[in-house]
Each structure stands twice: as structure tokens, then as C-alpha cells.
A and B are shown apart, each in its own frame.
Chain A
Amino acid sequence: MMRCTLALGLLAAVLLVGARDASAEAKTPCDVLADESADEFWWGDFDALERKYARVRTATERDAQGNASVTCFRRGLRRVFQNNDYNQAYYEQLQAMTAGWARAHPQSALAQLLHTRVLLARGLALRGLAYDADTPAASKREFLRYLALAEQQLVTHADVVKGESSADVYLMMLGRWEGWPLSRMRLLVDDGLAKNASDDALWEEMVLASQPKWGGNAAEIDRVARDAAKSTPDQGLGAYAMLYDAIADSYDARFFKDTRADWPTLRQGYRDRLAAYPDDWVLNRFARMACLAEDKPTTQALIAQIGSKPRPDAWGSNAGSRLDACRTWARAP
């Protein structure tokens, strides 16, 4: 219970800061967009959200860091329920608010999507992050009930949301928990990309679902990473690197042992990404991965490039000691 209280108490701070500790750096356009959408959702300002979503839903241009607007917008929305502890009264109000929006704006894709996302978030919060075997049966039942409600919401309003890549992203989130086959998930990727080719969350959901813990395997992950790179030839191998990067933390030191990630390809992918979209966070991730791959020249060059201003949030758990260890190793003759 105390955890729940603390988590809710911290929520306002999370809303202001954002997932990547954006306050530590100058805010990017993506941070600003995410902050605004979080604030508008936080205050129940549906009209402002609707205006913003109309601008971003199919916008394909990326900002200087390579972020597509629609993913930044959704990142902001997520902050309103970005904790996995559960407070029933809080979620009851949130659900009532978005249900009201969905009823009041039956032709608004955003209204239907927001309600879907809240149902999904409520289910996830009910379940928590414990392993399946450690999740109480009652929590699991409620979780599944909310997943079903979220799916029903999308199905019922399919005509309204059919043009939204966000609908595919949310369906994939549902499908991952419901154990949908990867082939079905892949159809959703293609469907979503046809609506917004810049919606990277489609590929990210696909690569998450392809991990062994969700029923996939190393070969499936590799296929997704390569397919994503092929579908974005303008970014070189950037997508390959970003998708492997997205799952790297869950493998930690076993990343190169348990996946089929190919370091030269990955290295080129990071280089392609940074050439198109210079970004300190990606630079730090690249250095971390180079260190993990034991590529000393690359690590040396990247550590030198990072200089005295590393991004600890890019170095995972025990960031300080990990960064120090890589620095020491890279300097050693």
C-alpha cells in the first residue's frame, strides 16, 4: 500500500520530468510535445489533446533526434499511468473521464483510443510486474477482463479508429499479453505502417513480442530487426540498431550470447542513426553496446566523444560503475 501511495505521489514529478530525464538536458521538440500531451491529459483537456493529435497522427517528419511526433504524443499520454501500482479510485476516475470523452465524441478516433489505452493501463496496473507464476489469480482475472474490455473498445469503434496507426500499436500491446501469434502481430505492423510510416512503436512492439519471454526467439527478433531496416532504406541500418537497442536492457550482459545481433551490423546501424539524427542518448547507448561487444577502438572513440558529459540514464542499472568500467577498459593498453 505504501508503495502505491509513493508511486502516485511521484506521478506528478514523473509527468514533469519524463522518461529520459529530459530536465537534465535541453528539451527536444519531442520532450516538449510529450510534456504538453501529458499535461493536457493530466488536466482532462480533451479539446487540446484532440487539436494536438490532429497535427501528429499522420505526420511523417522526424525531429532532429529522429522521433516521430505521434510516438512523442503517446509517450506523454503514458505518463498519466506510468506506474504499475494500483489505486482503484484513481483508475476509476480516469476510466470514467475517458469513457465520457468516448461517449461525447463518438466520431473522434482519439477519444476511442484514449479510452482503450486507459483500459489497458488499468489492466496492467492491476496485474503489476510480477512473473506470471507470482501473480495472484484474482489479479490475473481482472487483468484479462480489462484486456478484453480494451479490445472490445477497439473492435466496437473499428470504423472510427481504422485510420490510426495508434490503434495497431494498442492492439499489438494487447496481443502481446494475450499471446497472439507473431504472424498476426506482423500484419498489424504492416497495417500501421501504411497509415503512418514513421510510427516506430509498431516495430518496437513487434520486437518486444518476438522475445522468448513472449513466445518468440532469437531468430524472430533478428528477422524483425532486419525487416525494419529494409523498410526504412533512408535510415540505412539505423532501425536494426534501434530495435536491438530497445530490447538490450532485458538481456544485459548476455545480449550478444542470447541474441543473433551481429556487432558489425549493429555498429553500422548506430553510425547510420547518429549520422541522420545526432543524439547524446543514442551516442551513450552506442558506447555501452561497443563496450559490451568488447570492441575497444570503437569504445575508445565513443568514450572520447562523450567526454565529461555522459548520460547515465543510457547506461542501464549501475550506470556509474558500468560507465567507469568501460572507461577503464577502453583506456587500458
Chain B
Amino acid sequence: MSRTPLRHGALACLAFLTFMAHAGTLEAGASASWDARLVSSRFDELAMRLAVPKDTDVDADLGADMARAASDFLARLRPLLESWVAAARARPGATDGEVVRSVDNRIVNELALWRLLSPGSEYDAAMLATLHVPAVCRRIQDEATMVAVLERLRAVPMQQRAAAVDGERRLLQGWGGPHPSVPPRPDVTLETIEAEAIERLAAAEPVAGDPMPPALANTVLANVREVPVGSVRCALHQWGLGVALARPDAVPATLLVAWRYAKMPRVADILGEPAMSAKSGASSDDYPPMAQMRVVTGDVTVRIPAGESGRPAEVASRAIEVQGVDAHPVAFETLLDEASIGRALKQPLPPSEAASAPKEGRTIIIRWRLE
């Protein structure tokens, strides 16, 4: 069996906790050794994610190609991690906890960017060619792993495989780099398109595109639906992209970006849900525990349409800061969305507008700060 994301997540948490436990026993002034151990533990974590599984049944050429790409990546990973640790340590007054958090935030964000960015149109075409192979998701529990990369690559038609492998190699080469061109999050997300299509199917209305495999239909069409995770989540977005592409107004390039944002690993996929998520009595507009834990702050602009429009409130823009992530915090930028909408909807209209609500609706900026 291939490694699962749950294991990766659990391992990440375990490694973190073990690391922190040891760190607590270190004396002041031992930060160089502490930092070296942080680098080693994170290197091992990433090496495990990027390893070609020994029991993989992909063909030997493909396995060897990707093992080489992973090896090249690992050769430059340690200095990269050392530079991130050094940068975090250089911040005035940085505590050990802040250093760990900064480095982990950066790693999570780089893993997300790795799966979000496109290395070029030939690679995109190869990925699109795998769309009608629903079984490609069967063994993809975690998108940010070599297992997931290999599963997609082996579904690529042979004539496009070289371009796809080359694309994956370049994505690994860009890992941790400056990322000059990160595509903006599309206005209409794939999740929105999927939710609309699922509602139509549940109401026995037709939806263009491939039918769902039973594994997906069983999860999202049952009367009490479950939130897809792991391979079913992969299948949902694969199906969703097919549905979106079958719409008459489809713009493939935009939809590919929407697909990548949808399937991009989330913070909880890598680090696990924070224990305080389960706190009873938490309100939907409280500071989200994950955002608190990862020190995510900033402003979220919420648009509340006029009541008669019937449209729900939505996030119009975000200006988010994440400890340890200098630019493009894609893995974190939606962590405050739901709570921002919750807070915005609770804000009373100013007295001047209360008598006659503006027809165009309201725009409210929600500021998230940690003391």
C-alpha cells in the first residue's frame, strides 16, 4: 500500500511534537544545534513525501525518472531549509516556537505552490488528458506527495508523458524559489461549480460531463452528504473540472487554475487539524484555530449583496500576512474567509443606512489581529 496523507499528517504532527519536546530541554545558547535538528527533521519529512515508494507498480522508466527528479530536489533542499531557519532566527526576538512555525508555514506554502503552479501548456495538456480516467484518484490520498505525482503521470497518454515528466521536474526545481507568477484565485471557484452541479444531480436535473464514479457518488449524493477527503476529494475535483469544461462558457485555462486551487493541499492536510478545532461553544466567527495557530493575520474584505439579490455574502479580497511566508500565502489565504463572512453578517448597518439599505449592497473589511 502507498503511504497515505493521514500518515504523512500524523507523522508531521508527531515529528513536530517530538521536536518541541526535545527543544524544551535545550538550554539557552544551544540554538545552533536546535536549528540543525529542525532542518534535519523537516528534511526527513519532505524526503519521505517525495520518495518514490518501493512497492510502486508504475513502470520502471517513470519511477526512475521521478526518483532522479526527487534526488536532485533533495540535494538542494537542506541548504534551502537552513536559509529559512536562519532567516526566521534573524528576526529580532524570535523564539524557538516562532522559528519552527515560520519554517513549517513556509514548507506548507511551498507544498501548496508546488501543486498550484503550472510549468507550461504542454504539461497542462497532459494533465487534461487524464481527466476522463476517474480511477487516477484511487490511490491519491495526499496531493503533495510523489505517490500523487506518479499516479497522475501514469494516467497520461504515452505520447504526452515526456512533457508531463519534464513539467514535474521543473516544478520540483522551482520549489522554494521566488515564484514570480502565481495565478490569482479565480472569481468562480471549482468548489462552487461542483456544489451547483451536485444540487442539480440531487434534484434529478441533468449535468453535462462524465458521470461520477460510485466512490464519489456515494459520498456526495447520499441524503446526508459527507465532506470528501483523500482520494474521494481528488475524484470530486476531477469530476468537477470535467463538468466545468463541459459548460458552454468554459475557459479551459481559467478552469485549470480553479482545479489546481481546489486540489491544492490545505494546511490541515499537511499539519493535521489543530486540537482546539474541537472546542465546544466556538462560534463560526471566532478567530479560526488554524489561523491562530499559524499566526495568520490581515484584512478580509467581504461583499454583502443587497437583500433582494438573493446572492450570499462573499469574500471580495484578502490582504493576509503569515509568519514565515513573505509572498503568495496561497495555502493560508482562505483560512479567515468563513469567519470573516460570519463577522460581516453580524455587523449592524450604520444608522445612516439602516432606514434604506444600499441597493448595491455593502462592503465590509474585517481586520484580524493577534495580540
By a beta-carbon cutoff of 8 Å, the part of chain A in contact with chain B is 1-2, 4-5, 8-9, 11-12, 39-45, 48, 80, 87-90, 92-94, 96-97, 100
Contact = CB atoms under 8 A, between A and B. Distances in A.
8 contacts: A2-B223, A9-B226, A43-B134, A43-B213, A44-B135, A89-B202, A90-B222, A100-B211
B223 A5 contact: yes
B211 A96 contact: yes
Contacts of B217: 89-90, 93-94
B215 interface: yes
Contact of B201 (A8, A43, A80, A93): A93
Contact of A97 (B138, B204, B213): B213
Given A92-B204, A94-B214, A43 B138 contact: yes
B224 interface: yes
Interface residues of B, number: 21
Contact of B204 (A39, A42, A88): A88
- Give the one of B138, B201, B222 with max A CB within 10 A: B222
Nearest to A97: B211
Given A90-B214, A93-B201, A39 B221 contact: no
A90 B244 CA distance: 20
Nearest to B198: A89
B122 interface: no
Interface of B: 134-135, 137-138, 201-202, 204, 210-215, 217-218, 221-224, 226, 235
A94 to B, nearest CB: 6
8 closest residue pairs by CB, A with B: A44-B213, A45-B135, A96-B211, A89-B221, A44-B134, A93-B217, A8-B222, A5-B223
Nearest to A9: B222
Nearest to B231: A43
Given A42-B214, A96-B211, A5 B222 contact: yes
A226 B349 CA distance: 85
Given A42-B213, A44-B214, A80-B214, A90 B135 contact: no
A105 to B, nearest CB: 14
Given A43-B213, A44-B214, 19 more contacts: A1-B223, A9-B222, A9-B226, A12-B215, A43-B135, A43-B138, A43-B235, A44-B135, A44-B215, A80-B214, A87-B221, A90-B221, A90-B222, A93-B212, A93-B214, A94-B211, A94-B214, A97-B214, A100-B210
> Among the interface residues B138, B204, B235, which one has the most CB atoms of the partner chain A within 10 A?
B138
Contacts of B138: 39, 43, 45
A87 B222 contact: yes
Contacts of B226: 9
A98 to B, nearest CB: 9
B198 to A, nearest CB: 9
Contact of B215 (A5, A43, A89, A92): A43
A42 B134 CA distance: 10
Contacts of B210: 97, 100
A97 B215 CA distance: 12
A87 B134 contact: no
B211 A93 contact: yes
A43 B214 CA distance: 6
Contacts of A43: 134-135, 137-138, 213-215, 235
A315 B235 CA distance: 40
A36 to B, nearest CB: 11
Contacts of A48: 135
Contacts of A42: 213-215
A11 B218 contact: yes
Nearest to B220: A89
Contacts of A41: 214
A40 B212 contact: no
Contacts of A2: 223
A104 to B, nearest CB: 10
A118 to B, nearest CB: 10
Contacts of A1: 223
A89 B135 CA distance: 20
Nearest to B134: A44
A44 B135 CA distance: 6
Question: Which of B201, B211, B226, B235 lies at the interface centre, i.e. has the most chain A CB atoms within 10 A of its CB?
Answer: B211
B134 A45 contact: yes
Nearest to B200: A89
A12 to B, nearest CB: 7
A1 B202 CA distance: 14
A92 B197 CA distance: 14
B206 to A, nearest CB: 10
A42 B135 CA distance: 9
A11 B232 CA distance: 14
A5 B225 CA distance: 9
A12 B218 contact: yes
A230 B80 CA distance: 75
A2 B226 CA distance: 14
Contacts of B135: 40, 43-45, 48
B211 A89 contact: no
A1 B204 CA distance: 17
Contacts of A89: 201-202, 204, 217, 221
A2 B224 CA distance: 8
B223 A4 contact: yes
Contacts of B211: 92-94, 96-97, 100
A34 B134 CA distance: 20
A43 B219 CA distance: 12
Contacts of A40: 135
B226 to A, nearest CB: 7
Contacts of B235: 43
A202 B218 CA distance: 31
Contacts of B212: 93, 97
A84 B213 CA distance: 19
Contacts of A8: 218, 222-223
A2 B222 CA distance: 10
Nearest to B225: A5
Nearest to B138: A43
B158 to A, nearest CB: 14
The residue among A2, A12, A44, A100 with the most chain B CB atoms within 10 A of its own CB is A44
A88 B202 CA distance: 8
Nearest to B137: A43
Contacts of B221: 87, 89-90, 93
Contacts of B222: 4-5, 8-9, 87, 90
A117 to B, nearest CB: 13
